[in-house]
Structure 1
Amino acid sequence: MVNDSFDLYVLPLHRQMSQELGGVPSVHVALPPRRSGRGRKSDRLAIFLLFEGQHAFSRERIKQLMDTMEKVYFSTAGSVTSAMRVLVGDLNEMILKHNHRQANTGQQVVAHLSITVVRGGHLYLSQSGPSHGFLLTAGNVEHIHDAQTAGRGLGVSRNPQVRFSQTEVTNRMLLVLTSIIPKGWNAGTLQDAFGQPLKTVFRRFLDQAEGSFSGLMLEARVGKGELHYIRSSKQLGEIVPRRAEKSRQRPSRRPAVVPESDKQAWEPVEIPDDAPRRETKPPPPIIATPVDPGEARPSRTETLIEEPRLLSRRPAHSATPVISKALLGFGTFLGRVKQGLRTFLVRILPDEEVLTISAPFMAITAIAVPLIIITVAALVYSSIGRTQQFQYYYTQAEAMVQLAQTETDFNAIHDAWENAIDFLDLAEEYQTTPESQALRKNVLDALDRMDEVIRLDFKAAIAGNLSSAIKIRQMVATDQNLYILDIVSGHVMRAWLAGAHYEMDPDFRCGPGQYGAMIVDKIIDIAPLQRPTEENAEIVALDGNGNLLYCIPEEAPLAVALEPPDILWGEPTAITVENRKLYVLDPLTNAVWYYEGDENYQFREAPYFFFREEVPTLKGAIDIAYDSDRDFLYILFDDGHTTTCTFSTLKESPTSCVDPAQYTDSRQGREDGPQLTNMIFYQIHHTQPPEPSLYYLDPIDRAIYQFSLRLNLVQLYRPQVDFPEGLATAFAISPTRSIFLAQENKVYQSFLP
């Protein structure tokens, strides 16, 4: 096990117009709060943020921004890299919106963001924008920089670019971050800085820098897992290094996980010819070894903000001399290529007629051949670069696998597997190989075992393709039919079972239109009936005005106007039918209404208000389900929590609600609560005996969660790994345990075990 008891010392570097200042524009450090997302309880966070461009962000605005970034990170469950991705994505979206609003004012910005997280015995770094990192360990200096993968910065594209790195933390390891390499720094600036007092290193970095720059220093020392923020150089004299425990400084046997392109002497800046050069050693390997997460400490946050300033850009070299030289030499170049081409053709052609080829043709050929050569060379160079990036992240994924296989703590093992998936995702952005696919399968198998997942083999359910304009919002499955609600048109479609597949019924009609004197608007939801009506309707459909349609195969639907509530309709959102009662969710009026029906599911009377004295807040409610055996109403909200209400007509024991209800997750490493970690539910479905259950749809993971009627997690189902990417938009379960999953206009079918 690696040592995870390190104290961290974070010190800003800031020099403006040759003057040392006591801060950096937007440095933020924090320990996790008491209530953190899964995997965040032992993280220590440092954020380094700079803005490029004319902006009007006040100190208070930046302070609020940094506080928000801290909350986003520590509330996001999962691996370190996945939480970093969420933070980067949210900041990028905010800056994009700012730039859009300021399009006509010229006050648009680009953000350069570096996020450092120390967890257990490992340090994780994400870089967005032209950030330079220098990792100083015993006898080694590693330059962490890749302009291609880190991109220009945040706020310029919907898809932010970010580069991830990770390394094992060692005693007195020093990480230096800066947006630009200051003029005046050379190889000697960082050489031998390892192990020196922070005050000495700090003074060297500032004294050798010419002009303005901003940066950050982070040093790890064997200690108690504390986080120290050093506001200025005056505090450096108060720091007394702890003695390293020799028994914990054993050499690692793990293989290096740095790309081949980085295994070279460090040469981060141009060094003048008269400057002394030192012999440098290869950079240290980024090594993955077991992590023993420490216990979370009380939250402690520090932010240091100076007035925002513009980042200095490197002077652009003028292109005029290059172009002039190219134009002056172009005639000579064409002549040489023409003569060479004539000689070549004379040698390979059987006669002398080649000598009569026109000069224009020879000139065109002389231009085309170099262009082809240059294009081929560019493609080759691009391919090599992509291969190197793939290998870098693939090796990081392998290191995470090794860590997972040697770790003993359950949560640390799970996080290592998740990190492996994140690095594989990054690697396969450049290329996909049989090795990466095999590694992905192994990692997902390991995660499935830990998460107790059953993979379902979904196949296309419907023969042919539905129109690309269709967006499936809801489905109902019976023994032989599949009813599909298109939220765009508001129509309900029917597919009938024809052997191994379903076929669409082109003559089925159930949707908006005029039915006698009644005009039905777009359908907002559909619900199954426990048995068909006398007219053979298997489902009912509701529009936004309270009109009900009975959808009948091979016949026109029957339209009925429901008696509206006394306070009229607000915005009906969802319906369900149980035990000849129709339940309607109307969040706008903060109500659930129910209609008493007869044996043919006719709802002729005025509705009843479901609640009595206790009325839960229904803002954000999106779906409902009802268990008639226990008279339990389940209300699903858009944040993933469920409110349960027990119906009663007794005055001494009226209808009561639990808001929010508690989910019970008995899997190892998981916690019970009103929301399950890293899950957002979108739809709820109640199944009948012999195995009554509640099924929830997680649209992001394309996952289906089976709960008991008391909200105890029973089983988690996910598609096979080769299932198409994209959000799941609806699901349904038939009485024969067929399960259907929709993605926009596509429907897939599998079978529950």
Structure 2
Amino acid sequence: MFDINLYTINLINGIEKNSLPGLIALTAPRRAARGRENDSLVVLLTLSGATTITAESLQAWLQKKGEDYYKTAGTVTFAMKSFVESINNELLDRNLKRAKDGGQISAMLNLAVIKRESVYLVNVGSTRTYFIGSGESIEFGDSENQGRGLGVDQMLACRFVQKVIQENDTLLFAPVPPVSWKAEAFDGSTKLSVDAFSRRLYNQVGTDLKAAMVRFITGKGSVNQTALWNTTTISSRSETPVFTEPVVNIPSAAVDRPISQSIVGSLTSLITNEPVQGEQVSSTGDNQLRPKERPISVDAQKTPVMGTTIISPGTAPRTIKTPKAATSTPSGWQLKVGKFTRSAVTWFTGIKTSGSRFIQKVLPGLSEEPIKLTRSGLIVIAVAVPILIVAIAGMVYVRNGKTQQFDLFLVQAQQYAIQAEAQINDAPSRLASLQQSFYWLEKAETYGQSDASKSLRLQVQGALDIIQGIQRLELRSVLDGGLPAGMIVSQIVPTATDLYLLDDTSGTVMRYFLSGSGYQKDVAFDCGPNPDNALNPMGKLVDMVPLNINNSFRASLFVIDASGNIEFCIPGESGVSGSLTPPDQGWRQLKSISLFKNYLYVLDIGGNAVYRYEGDGIQFGEKPTLYFDNQIPPLGEALEIEVNGDELYILRASGQMVECTYSHMKDYKLTECEDPALFGDMRTGQIPETINFPEAQFTQMRMTAAPDSSIYLLDSRAKTIFHFSLQRNLQKILHPRLSDGLNLAKLTPTAFAVSSGRIVFMAFSNQVYYAPLP
């Protein structure tokens, strides 16, 4: 674990300041969400554009966003993406509200999360991050968003970088780095003291510079913050007393308690673009937030820095007497309310008199008892009638206003769609225009839909799908009414005529076969644990593979449990059970199997091994051999294995893939593994580009045989299927749509498979769907 020493650089017109607005550093509270317990967060947000946002309100807002980060469970990259999207959405919403005023702003973001011995980085905008290690110095930028910052576009891409950190490794955040700051210029800087490195940073930087430096020192995970002064030009430093801005360490209750009133005020100031009462700021040319100068009645040289108290030696603090409050007088709005009330009373008194005279003429018997309304009753009527009138008018306005808003947003979407058509030869600009069109269309359809909006949605969605390599799957239900309640399908094996579903709840397999009316259940099929059969040794099944039915058992399915017990499952009857010959170290925890020709491969995550059986037909009676030689990759988080020839593919829970090549000639060459095996992207050209998927949560892997040899990965978080070649190059992404009207957003895929007939099957707990591959 490392302590984080945080240094700020804020040079304005040659004068050094002792704090940097937009910079926060947080450590995890005691009651952080799962996965956030060991995270330290460092954020530098730099605003651009005309704004009256105060430095205090910006800090308060970022503090609140930091607290939200520690409430987000999941992986580091998922929490970072949520943090970035939250800031982007609020700034974008603010800009949309102020589009007519022209007071729009954008922001550049440097974000770092330190987790044990690793640091995760992401940049948004034209800002730069430098990682300076003992062996290398690297400069990172944002190549995904074409230099656009936060608050500009809803469609935001995040490129994450992970580095292992060591003692004295250093990070530099620089929104606008000097020309002299090059990665190679920082080589060897980890051996320098902070003062020596400071001199290198300040060399040829000009009169304006904003940056933050993080140096990692072995410790207990604490954060220390101070200004990084230019030791070569101390005389140019501001004469104000040195103030070290305290690093905020969120207390254990901060995650649950509501934000204080002062922070709410600051946040309101940020979103409404209004300064907090009593403070005014102006935006300078370099986007530095500074208070406007105001006349004061004390000597400026004796004015302490905010948060600092200065008491001259030998003098006692003076007690400031609070002046007595002046006699209160009615304010302007109180006078208006009183005047309105008196007018209402006079008006209703006149109505009462006229009404009484009319009733006395119509009903003479009531002449001795005229209508009586109390003063309080008249006041209630005076207040209620205007409210009723305003409510009725509001209903009419809202109805008309929604139509106007819909038309306004739809016109915006149509204009971006037309602009995209003119950018047919400029793929990045065309993609940005289509994304803007889709964004405004989404805004429009929050107020309703029309034939024009539906047509535009199909047009824009289709164009986006083509550019992004997305294809749609129109899923239809396999079984009317679904499966029994409580069943969770965890594995699917389709054949030309059968469909096998492994139930994670019971650990058994159900067989469905094609008939004239669709799939029918094989009620006599008995595969997996059976408490009614004392001779059945099977535990809950963990995996299954199909068999060619032309075997001695007439079995169509081979299944295995976590202890190495196996069963040959036969249509229409009970299966034949047995057990695999265990390796010398025995079985620990079997997770997955793969069958290629007459070789069976077994993944034992408890023993960190993959074993290889050479079979006689479908019989595997011999002792297995270890697949690996000298190089054995970590397999504790492995989920699935697939085999194609001598190639073994391993999918980890982290989303990483390992590819190993088996060697039959051990004297000549040993079995080798590529760990991790990188993914490529073939959608943008003929040469694959290295790509990763930090937001994806790959949970299953399936492989199809020739002639369409491919790898398919299920992303259960996005509910999509990634299609790769055997060289791990991304071909396309399949997005499902349900034809039965169920809300896909509320469902989570639990299993999938691709048949030899190019049919995709997907299960969402006890609902199973199918669709032909596009």
Q: Which runs of 5+ in 2 are unaligned?
A: 1-8, 26-43, 48-54, 71-82, 84-108, 114-119, 125-140, 160-248, 297-305, 309-330, 360-372
- Equivalent-residue separation in structure 2 for 1:339 and 1:11 (angstroms): 72
* Superposed displacement of residue 575, structure 1: 1.8
Matches of residues 46-57 of structure 1 in structure 2 within 5 Å? 46=46, 49-51=58-60
String of CA shifts for 1:68-107, please: whole Å, max 9, x gaps: 39627578967974565989xxxxxxxxxx9996279858
Tell whether 2:87 aligns with 1:71. Answer: no
CA separation of 1:730 and 1:721: change in aligned 2, threshold 3 A: closer
- 1:738 aligned onto 2:756: no
CA contact (8 A) 1:696 1:706 kept: yes
Match among 457, 462, 466 for residue 474 of structure 2? 457
Find the aligned partners of 1:400 and 1:568 in 2 and give their Cα distance.
Answer: 64
Structure 2 counterparts to residues 203-352 of structure 1, below 5 A: 206-207=292-293
**Matched letter for residue 757 of structure 2:** T
Give 1:113-192 correspondences, 5 Å limit.
130=268, 132=270, 180-183=275-278
2:572 to 514, 530, 554: 554
Between the aligned partners of 2:287 and 2:638, the Cα distance in structure 1 is 59
Residue of structure 1 equivalent to 2:237: none
> Contact 1:665 / 1:713 at 8 angstroms: preserved in 2?
yes
Aligned residues: 529
Aligned-partner SS, 1:51: helix
Residue number among 634, 638, 646 corresponding to 1:621 in the alignment: 638
The answer to whether the Cα contact below 8 Å between 1:661 and 1:674 also exists between their aligned partners in 2 is no
| Cα gap change, 1:101 to 1:437, in 2 (>3 Å) | farther
Distance 1:380 1:686, change over 3 A: same
Q: 1:449 to 1:552 in 2, by over 3 A?
A: same
State the distance in 1 between where 2:661 and 2:544 align: 24
1:725 aligns with 2:740: no
Q: Do 2:679 and 2:728's aligned partners in 1 also have CA atoms closer than 8 Å? A: yes
CA distance in 2, matches of 1:662, 1:482: 33
Q: Once the 2 structures are TM-superposed, how far is the Cα of residue 504 of structure 1 from its aligned partner?
A: 4.2
Contact 2:11 2:17 in 1 (8 A): no
Decide which of 540, 564, 569 is 2:587's aligned counterpart: 569
- 1:659 to 2:675 alignment: yes
Decide which moves more: 531-540 or 390-399: 390-399
- Per-residue CA deviations over 1:450-488 (Å, capped at 9, x if unaligned) read 234444433222222234533332211011111122334
Secondary structure at 1:616's aligned position in 2? Answer: coil
- Asked whether the 8 Å contact 2:21–2:289 carries over to 1, the reply is no
Deviations 1:183-227 (A, max 9, x none): 476xxx98xx9xxx7499977x523699xxxxxxxxxxxxxxxxx
**Distance change >3 Å, CA 426–CA 208, structure 1 → 2:** farther
Contact between 1:693 and 1:709, CA under 8 Å: does it hold in 2?
yes
Q: Report the equivalent of 1:579.
A: 597
Partner SS, residue 414 of structure 1: helix
Relative distance call for 1:66 and 1:661 in structure 2 (3 A) is closer
Pick one of 652, 677, 688 that aligns with 2:705. Answer: 688
**Structure 1: distance between partners of 2:628 and 2:542:** 23
Given residue 763 of structure 2, which amino acid in structure 1 is its aligned partner? A
2:614: which partner in 1?
A: 596
Give the distance between the partners of 1:377 and 1:332, measured in 2 at CA: 24
Measure the CA separation in 2 of the matches of 1:109 and 1:583.
59
Among 4, 22, 27, the alignment partner of 1:26 is 22
Change (3 A) 1:619 1:438: farther
The offset of 1:518, in angstroms, is 5.0
Deviation of the 1:414 alpha carbon: 2.4
User: What do you get for the CA RMSD once the two structures are aligned?
Assistant: 5.9
Counterpart of 1:67 in structure 2: which amino acid? A
- 1:486-519 CA-partner distances (Å, limit 9, x unpaired): 3344332333223463344455443444443555
Partner of 2:547 in structure 1?
529
Pairing of 1:423-434 with structure 2 (within 5 A): 423-434=440-451
For 1:562 and 1:100, the matched residues in 2 are separated by 55
Q: 1:129 Cα deviation (Å)? A: 5.5
Q: 2-side partners of 1:108 and 1:470: how far apart?
A: 43
- CA–CA distance in structure 2, aligned partners of residues 739 and 111 of structure 1: 55
User: Is the CA contact (8 Å cut-off) linking 1:54 and 1:107 kept in structure 2?
Assistant: no
Larger radius of gyration: 2
Counterpart amino acid of 1:643?
Answer: V
Change (3 A) 1:687 1:23: same
SS in 2 for 1:458: strand
Separation in structure 2 between the aligned mates of residue 111 and residue 527 of structure 1, nearest angstrom: 62
CA distance in 2, matches of 1:426, 1:409: 26
Equivalent pair of 1:662/1:672 in contact (CA under 8 Å): no
Alpha-carbon spacing, 1:57–1:622, altered in 2? closer, same or farther (3 Å): closer
- 1:118-154 residue CA offsets vs partner (Å, 9 max, x unmatched): xxxxxxxxxx95354xxxxxxxxxxxx5x7xxxxxxx
Contact 2:511 2:522 in 1 (8 A): yes
Cα distance in 2 between the residues matched to 1:27 and 1:705: 38
Q: Would you say the 8 A contact 2:111–2:123 is kept in 1? A: no
Normalising by structure 1, what TM-score?
0.55
Q: Kindly provide the CA deviation profile for residues 395-419 of structure 1, in whole angstroms up to 9, marking residues without a partner as x.
A: 5544543553344542333243334
Gapped regions of structure 1 (runs ≥ 5): 1-9, 14-19, 30-43, 88-97, 114-127, 133-144, 148-177, 211-305, 309-317, 347-358
Q: Measured at CA, do residues 569 and 422 of structure 1 come closer, stay the same or move farther in structure 2, by a change above 3 Å?
A: farther
> Alpha-carbon deviation of 1:706?
3.8
Q: Is the 8 A contact 2:760 2:771 kept in 1?
A: yes
SS at 1:649 equivalent: coil
Give CA-to-partner distance per residue, 1:582-633, whole Å, 9 cap, x none.
222233432112333332x233333321111121223432211111xx3211
CA distance in 2, matches of 1:131, 1:422: 26
Cα 1:406–1:674 change in 2 (3 A) is: closer
Aligned match of 1:675? 692
Structure 1 residues 370 and 672: CA distance shift in structure 2, 3 A:
same
On the 8 A contact 1:183/1:209 being kept in 2, the answer is no
Change (3 A) 1:23 1:54: closer
Identity in percent: 29
> Aligned partners of 2:656 and 2:522: how far apart in 1?
37
2:406, 2:445 within 8 Å by CA — same for their partners in 1?
A: yes
Alignment of 1:749 with 2:766, yes or no, is: no
Aligned equivalents of 1:675 and 1:435: distance in 2? 37
Deviations 1:649-689, CA, capped at 9 Å, x for gaps: 32222222222334443332684326368765432222233
Q: Decide whether the 8 Å contact of 1:463 with 1:502 is kept in 2.
A: no
Aligned to 1:608: 625
Indicate the residue corresponding to 1:476 in structure 2: 493
1:516 and 1:432 map into 2 onto residues whose CA distance is: 62
Distance, in Å, in 2 between the alignment partners of 1:592 and 1:378 is 70
CA distance in 2: counterparts of 1:720 and 1:441, whole angstroms = 14
Q: What is the distance in 1 between the residues matched to 2:434 and 2:723?
A: 24
Give matches, 1:308-457, under 5 Å. 394=410, 397-398=413-414, 400-407=416-423, 408-457=425-474
Quote the Cα distance in structure 1 between the aligned partners of 2:506 and 2:399: 46
Structure 1 letter corresponding to 2:681: D
Query: What amino acid sits opposite 1:484 in the alignment?
Result: L
The CA deviation at 1:444 is 1.8
* Cα distance in structure 2, aligned partners of 1:398 and 1:382: 24
Q: Aligned partner of 2:46: which letter?
A: A
